[in-house]
Amino acid sequence: MQRRKLLQYAGLAAGFTLGKIPVWASAKNQFSALAEENDNILVIVQMFGGNDGLNTVIPADDDRYYSKYRPKLSIPKSTLLKLKDGSYMNPALKSGTNNGLYGLFGEGKLAVIQGIGYPNNSLSHFRSTDIWLSATMPVNDSQRLDTGWLGRFTEKLNGDILPDHPTCMNIGNSSSLLFQGTKGDLSIAVENPNDFYERGKDILSGDAVMANNSNFASERNFLLDVSIQSNKYSAVVKKAFDAGKNVATFETDVLSNELKLVSRLISGGLKTKVYLVSIDGFDTHANQGSDGGKHADLLKKVSTSIAAFMADLKAQKISDKVVGMTVSEFGRRPEENASLGSDHGAASVMFMFGDAVNGKIYGENLSFDKLDKNKDFVYQFDYRRVYDELMTKWFKTDSNVTKEILTGRFDLIEQGIFSTKQVLSNQSEPTISSINAYPNPTSDGFVNLKISMEKPSEISIQVSNIQGVNIQQNYPSRLPDGVHSIPLQVGNVSGIYFINVITNESKEVLKVVRL
């Protein structure tokens, strides 16, 4: 009998309407080793429906935005919030405490990543959402995407003892592909900590483990482990909720309430590493509105809720250990439709926020000069570049683990989104703060390796081909602090090559393609 069915027959499935427990009971869940190194936290804000990036960060100096593509949906230039020459923010994003997301940008705590997307964009809500949450590019439309990047990430760091606190939490009453591992859901879902606690108390407890090896004993012990976890986590979550507090003022919409809960749990000492919150409504095919319409109202909620969340953390002196990011399955088409809305598109805009974020604009404006064959925006940055940096820089994961989770390494976006000294405030200063190789791909096999050294160090640079054969060259054996550009030849023939940069404290691996 499948364990999912057994849970249903045992009457347990209905008991998790407000709290979903891990379905693999004996493994150490997730970031235990990581939690010993730092207490960094990631909060993901999922914007369901496909956010219209063009009306979020607007290339208002291009007259075609007003005259050709958005004659009725355009935001009046006089109301826009200037970020830099050519880039303007929707005025709704000034809503909230301390001028909302616009205020965070002014403080250097909001990264605006333009043109975020992935190759061969799927315009299906479900498929594109799965691609974002799984961090997997399917080889065809029939390939199943059944594990999430954070599910694989946490599963990779397994041990054999359960952590004291749940590692991943979905605020709401459902599970997410984001946290699915090969052994099941690695998160808990919580909507109301008090209800979660009461339901946890009602599940099986107090029975002895059966020692024999029968199938019945295996399934019975599985249920017992599940009940122990449920009781354990429901009590831990309630304890943190009771100990925590909110000092900032939050609005009463769903997203504000979810972030209010996350802030209170962090305040109360919960050691959960990743929280997922969400807001619906971004599928704006009709009546999207301009500066005072449906889309603007959604952006206002995003701005007010995140601004209150960050103000709450800052007032309690815990904002330095939290970063957040927005995700949405795709953007919208450049051209408005006949229903005064915008249809499914490709590249869009992502926000990252927090004290540790190097707040600025990344990438160029969404360009009407670079539309694809479907007359859609062409992406500039693969979203997995953000995930790569989150794992290696924010959570300080070994680069080989990151490579395995993402089935490859992805370059930093413009030298990196994180301010290194803030990210590593709980640890010693790193030797290398950023590293990049360009051009990549290379047509002649020659690249420049750019390394930013925080302090002098012995260093080893190795170039190898895809078979692991080292290519012998002369490299410096020691570098002083500062920025260095080192010319390298990766290979004489077309193919994939790896540059390994090793210091006493770290190892970085860059993938380079020779055309």
Domains 17-202+231-391 and 432-514 share a fold: no
CA 111 distance to own-chain centroid: 13
- Read off the pLDDT of residues 68-106 as tens digits, 9 standing for 90 and up: 999 999 999 999 999 988 899 999 999 999 999 999 999
- Cα(169)–Cα(179) distance, rounded to whole angstroms? 9
**What's the predicted TM-score (pTM) here?**
0.75
Give the pair of three-digit tokens for residue 294: 């449906």
pLDDT band at 231 (very low <50, low <70, confident <90, very high): low
Rounded to the nearest integer, the mean pLDDT of the chain is: 82
Residue 281 above 90 pLDDT?
A: yes
Length of the chain: 515
What pLDDT does 364 receive? 94
Is residue 454 very low, low, confident or very high in pLDDT (cuts 50, 70, 90)?
Answer: confident
Measured at the alpha carbon of residue 464, what is the angle toward residues 458 and 469, in degrees to the nearest 5?
Answer: 120
φ, ψ of residue 160 in degrees (nearest 5): -125, 15
Spatial separation of the C-alpha atoms in residues 273 and 427, rounded to whole Å: 17
Tell me, which fold does domain 432-514 have in CATH? Immunoglobulin-like (2.60.40)
SS3 assignment, position 510: strand
211-225, 318-332, 363-377: least confidently modelled range: 211-225
Which structure tokens are listed for 371?
């539309």
Average pLDDT over residues 13-40: 41
pLDDT for 298 equals 98
pLDDT tier at 428, thresholds 50, 70, 90: very low
- CATH number for 17-202+231-391: choose from 3.40.720, 1.10.3470, 1.10.1060, 3.40.50: 3.40.720
- Interval 35-40 mean pLDDT: 62
Average pLDDT value for residue range 47-69: 97
Task: Look at residue 446 and tell me whether its pLDDT is greater than 60.
Answer: yes
Each domain of the chain, given as residue ranges in start order, spans 17-202+231-391, 432-514
Provide φ and ψ at 501, rounded to 5°: -115, 115
- Residue 385 CA, distance from chain mean position: 10
The pLDDT tens digits of the residues spanning 119-160 come to: 999 999 999 999 999 999 998 888 999 999 998 988 876 444
For the record, the structure tokens of 349 come out as 């805009």
Q: Is the model more confident about 513 or about 18?
A: 513
